[in-house]
Amino acid sequence: MALRVIRAGKAVTLLWNLAQTVPPPPVTFDPPAPPTVTIFDPSGNVVVSAQPAARVQSGLYAFTFVTPVAGPGGIWSAWMDLIDANGVPSGSVDGTDLTKATPAFQVV
C-alpha cells in the first residue's frame, strides 16, 4: 500500500481492521470497549492522545484527523490501542492474536 499524501489543513481518515488470526481463517471482532488512537507528528510529538475510534462495522474502526494548516510537513504516524474490559490499554483482547495497523501519511 502506498503512503497517502495529504495537503496541510485537510482531513485524513485512518482505518483499522481487527481480526483474530489464530486459528485460521481470520475472524473480525469488536473489542469490549472502543479502541483509542494516538497520532504522532514527524518529530514524534503526540498531537492526538488516546481518542476513541469510531466503529464502522464489525472489526472495522476509523478515526478522522484534520492536519494542521501550518504543518509540519513530513511523515505522520498513528497507533491504535485496544482497550480491555477493565478500561486498560492492551495489545490483545482475551489473549487472542489480532491484526493491528499503524497507518502513516505524508503531509505536504
- Tens of pLDDT, residue by residue over 34-87, are 888 889 999 999 999 989 999 999 888 899 999 999 878 999 988 888 776 777
| The three three-digit cell numbers of residue 1, written as one number | 500500500
Assigned CATH topology for domain 4-107: Immunoglobulin-like (2.60.40)
Amino acid 64 reads T
Amino acid 27 reads V
Q: Where are the domains of the chain?
A: 4-107
Selected residue with higher pLDDT from 91 and 45: 45
Phi and psi at residue 17, to the nearest 5°: -110, 115
Residue among 69, 19, 58, 13 at smallest CA distance from 39: 13
pTM of the predicted model over 0.85: no
CA angle 3, 12, 60 (to 5 degrees): 90
